[in-house]
Amino acid sequence: MIDLKAFEVWFITGSQHLYGEETLKLVAEHSQQIAKGLDGAAGTPVRVVYKPVVKTPEEIYATLQDANTTANCIGIITWMHTFSPAKMWIRGLSILQKPMLHLHTQFNRDIPWSSIDMDFMNLNQSAHGDREFGFIVSRMRKNRKVVVGHWQDPEVLGQINAWARAAAGWHDWQGAKFARIGDNMRYVAVTEGDKVEAELKFGYSVNTYGVGDLVKVIDSISDDAINELLTEYEATYTMAADLQKGGAKHQSVYDAAKIELGLKKFLEEGGFKGFTDTFEDLHGMIQLPGIAAQRLMAAGYGFAGEGDWKTAALVRAFKVMGSGLKGGNAFMEDYTYHFDPNNQLVLGSHMLEIDASLANGKAALEVHPLGIGGKADPARLVFNVAGGAALNASIVDMGNRFRLLINEVEAVEPQNDLPNLPVARVLWKPYPDMKTGCAAWIYAGGAHHTAYSQNLTAEHLQDFADIAGLEFIRIGKETKLDQLRNELRWNDASYK
Ligand code: MN
């Protein structure tokens, strides 16, 4: 679906001419081996490409300028095998626009106690060479991820991989287009936001389209195409007889399939990576897109309901960052609570639009009344979601900045059938506990809409926030409410 191997991270080693040709030859050989090792490691999601060792301000500038303009380069990894005087880096770093990871490593893991001599010391200087480099990056107030340890250490590889995934999500946002079909749900606050500022900060654009523009495309879909999709529905989902071809309620499923194909065509023709809609603006549409939104999300599109473009864009970024990992990434909403003192739970769902990539087992395609919107009964996929570690994330517009807020949660297997709730749903326990987790979320201004992930961690999102220049707040196992409230106060002061 989204192939991260199409992206490159450049491995750039800094040095200088002080050491002579022999040493520089070894620096290059070692750097090539490390780049090859990173590129070939099992979990590396992108290509890692060796670049010739940079030894002068001119070489540094040219390489970083090249990184900026190479379309599939999503970031750089820097390492100072020897000492690379960091004033040489100022001009290059000042124009660098791609994410950076500083790998504080060493070619050899161990000190060769019996053979170590001054030649070895000349070559293996990253313990101080990387500090000189680190100073100039801090002095220039540039965001980067610092990873420390031997380059074959699984923990180090994991940290690099998390950053590479975050960089891929960021890269995907640059120039991305999101369609807002209809405006914001009337009077809702948190789904609003500054779209001009978002485009400046995040690189994606959000523009509105009248629902009539979409209806025109939906009406252009052929019977043959609809029948082909209906065959796929019947092969993929559990469907009652009256919903199948020839059944009494089949028309609802037919209309839903037509909407799905129309929406897909609309998104493809416009080059969109995601969309929002709203049940308050469905003029000319027969039903609210249910299964259409569910399946388009599973295919990689970002989506959120009620005009919530920030969450739609975040869901898309999650899909890119999590590509190839086990588990799904989805639009979610905290819906209702279970306040049993011995088993406190949040039930997450939406009216219809829960991502089909979360389905645990075979989903059921069902048609039921919606209760709002005043349209025909919409078709939707109904399923449960597996237990396990997960997180919810929200981007909120605080007026003077965007905040990325996450809450780590533990999803639990459904313990009860819900025969009268025909929507997909998931149950989870927020960390550190229900009361603290929910209170912290509300103090931090988190939205009711979220991007829900089964395969991304706080580390991916911390890296993503650093790359995007976002304020990052994590509610997790160690969160104490009084400390979190202070963090929010101090952050307010730091952004003044
Ligand atoms: Mn909603």
Residues found in the chain: 496
| 371 CA distance to ligand 1 middle (Å) | 14
Model pLDDT for residues 252-267, shown as the tens digit of each residue: 999 999 999 999 999 9
Q: What is the pLDDT of residue 370?
A: 82
> Does the pLDDT at position 221 exceed 80?
yes
Model pLDDT for residues 137-191, shown as the tens digit of each residue: 999 999 999 999 999 999 999 999 999 999 999 999 999 999 999 999 999 999 9
Distance in angstroms (rounded) separating the CA atoms of residues 396 and 446: 6
Q: Where is 329: in which H helix or E strand?
A: strand 329-338
How confident is residue 290, by pLDDT bands cut at 50, 70 and 90? very high
| Cβ–Cβ < 8 Å for 76, 64 | yes
Mean pLDDT taken over the chain: 96
Q: What is the DSSP string of 406-444?
A: EEEEEEE---S--TT--S-EEEEEESS-HHHHHHHHHHT
> Does the pLDDT at position 1 exceed 70?
no
Q: What is the pLDDT of residue 416?
A: 87
| 331 CA distance to ligand 1 middle (Å) | 9
Q: What is the DSSP string of 252-307?
A: HHHHHHHHHHHHHHHHHHHT-SEEEE-TT--TT-SS--SHHHHHHHHTT-EEEETT
Helix axes 250-270 and 291-298, enclosed angle (nearest 10): 40
> Does the pLDDT at position 117 exceed 70?
yes
How confident is residue 372, by pLDDT bands cut at 50, 70 and 90? confident
Q: What residues are neighbours of ligand 1 (ion), with CB under 5 Å?
A: 305-306, 333
* Both structure tokens of 171: 């890269």
How confident is residue 33, by pLDDT bands cut at 50, 70 and 90? very high
Once rounded to an integer, what is the mean pLDDT over residues 60-81?
A: 98
How confident is residue 414, by pLDDT bands cut at 50, 70 and 90? confident
| 333 CA distance to ligand 1 middle (Å) | 6
* Both structure tokens of 167: 């960089």
| 489 CA distance to ligand 1 middle (Å) | 29
